[in-house]
Amino acid sequence: MPPQPALVAGAIGGAALGVLLSALLIKKKEDRRVVVFASALAGGALGTMRASFGGASGARKDPTKRPAEPAVADLAADPVASPERLRSALRRGALVVDVRAADSSELTNKSTAPVFEVVDGSLSAPYDKVNQTIPVGALGLLQQEKSAPLVVHCRSGARAGKAIAFLRGLGYTDLTNGGGPAVVDLREAYADAGLPWRPHNMGSVMRQLFDPKSSTFTYLLGDASTGEAILIDPCIDQIDRDLALVEELGFRLTLMLNTHCHADHITATGEIKRRFQGTSKAPKSAISAASGADADRLIVPNETIKWAGGTRSLTALATPGHTSGCMSFYDAYTGAVYTGDALLIGGCGRTDFQGGSAKTLYRSVHSQLFVLPDDTIVYPAHDYKGRLRSTIGGEKSSNPRLGGGKSVGEFVKIMADLKLSNPKMLDVAVPANLRCGVPDE
């Protein structure tokens, strides 16, 4: 595809700006006002070029990655707002944007217990420390006008301030640093607006991992008291990463769950079992009986899946429709549900192959998932816009396919009109996954 005029102009403008800034800094190096002005211009130019190009390689970024050091000069960060300013923004209907990771790496240390806290209806758009960006593609799904109010928060406000600097460089104008759950002085302002912080006990460890190739999330749940860990939807391309993390955290992997027979990647369960073959440490694989796939354990609807010596459990919820054998796993202890492809953030899995049915998926989501508490965190198997999590209440109210009171007829038409091409891995992944991730010989 030929370069777009806007991109070429952005590149030329960025290069010209760099030359101009260098000249300014050399000529008036001693003048602090010029340095500040140059820094502000550079921040805006960087933001514009990042938004235009989306990264040099064009590859999908890993929104769960936790880099150690920024690679570019820090943007000037906005300070945390006063309670009065936060109240004003929330009264004006500001969209709340959460720029944190969405797992146990983000516990609120200053609360009465170490929990992960979420504001109802907030949009997940994690801050990238290296590039100092957030996924504006996710933001654009809910916030069309750059003049509309945004409240941006992290845990304590530091990353939120830098995310605001990035957004300001893109032309967003009504921005408030909402601090985060660790800022005690602001908790009341959120509660007064009907947006209290909802606590979620993550247990010892819950880590959300990402495969950029297939945009698949894998979840590692660990229990320190027993040393047990389980994986949900592991990908074969990330097997070394996942096993290294289990070892690094000092856990023993005992169970691997698949939400369904995937068509866009090969599960890692078969290869992990092979690596532990002949040892007492071999973990068990599990998938729904309705999937028709091989596994050590075939799960039936409403089955309780116990782990951590029986102290922790997941409830298997039958959510067919994307495929005939889809299962979601509800963790009442955490207040979270791992939905596979049945329910995605602002969407759902396709329904046109592998025994899929739009009517069935509609019934599954409404009867099994939308009946869970509204503050239940939704952890999907995929996201393509950089988001990490949602809530049941948020999906019920604003999911453009399944929420907002849409009827089954409306949903069936939406799905029929998608006209999607087949996944690139379909002919390889499905046969392998029916054999627990072991390709045909």
Q: pLDDT tens digits for 111-143?
A: 567 899 999 889 999 999 999 999 988 887 676
Can you name the CATH fold of 71-201?
Oxidized Rhodanese; domain 1 (3.40.250)
What distance in Å separates the CA atoms of residue 251 and residue 377, rounded to the nearest whole number? 24
Residues 6+ apart with CB under 8 A from 320: 290, 326, 342, 355, 357, 360, 361, 364
Contact 157/148 with Cβ under 8 angstroms? no
Residue 15 is predicted with a pLDDT of 44
Contact 195/119 with Cβ under 8 angstroms? yes
Contact 358/381 with Cβ under 8 angstroms? no
Q: Please compute the mean of the pLDDT values over residues 223-251 and round it to a whole number.
A: 97
pLDDT surpasses 60 at 276: yes
Percent of the chain at pLDDT exceeding 90 = 73
Q: Please compute the mean of the pLDDT values over residues 323-330 and round it to a whole number.
A: 97
Contact 287/295 with Cβ under 8 angstroms? yes
pLDDT surpasses 50 at 32: no
Residue 423 is predicted with a pLDDT of 85
pLDDT surpasses 60 at 4: no
What distance in Å separates the CA atoms of residue 355 and residue 425, rounded to the nearest whole number? 17
Closest CA to 108 of 178, 159, 155, 161: 155
CA–CA distance from 120 to each of 40, 232, 304 (Å)? 34, 25, 28
Q: Please compute the mean of the pLDDT values over residues 46-56 and round it to a whole number.
A: 36
Q: Please compute the mean of the pLDDT values over residues 67-76 and round it to a whole number.
A: 50
Residue 74 is predicted with a pLDDT of 58
Residue 13 is predicted with a pLDDT of 46
E strand or H helix that includes residue 288? strand 284-288
Q: Please compute the mean of the pLDDT values over residues 313-340 and round it to a whole number.
A: 98
pLDDT surpasses 80 at 198: yes
Average pLDDT score, the chain: 85
Q: Regarding the domain with residue range 203-440, which homologous superfamily does it belong to in the CATH classification?
A: Ribonuclease Z/Hydroxyacylglutathione hydrolase-like (3.60.15.10)
Residue 63 is predicted with a pLDDT of 74
Structure confidence at residue 342 as a pLDDT band (50, 70, 90):
very high
Contact 294/434 with Cβ under 8 angstroms? yes
Q: Where are the domains of the chain?
A: 71-201, 203-440
Residue 162 is predicted with a pLDDT of 96
Residue 60 is predicted with a pLDDT of 64
The 10s digit of each residue's pLDDT in 392-432 is 999 999 999 999 999 999 999 999 999 998 888 888 999 99
What distance in Å separates the CA atoms of residue 127 and residue 253, rounded to the nearest whole number? 30
Q: Please compute the mean of the pLDDT values over residues 213-235 and round it to a whole number.
A: 97
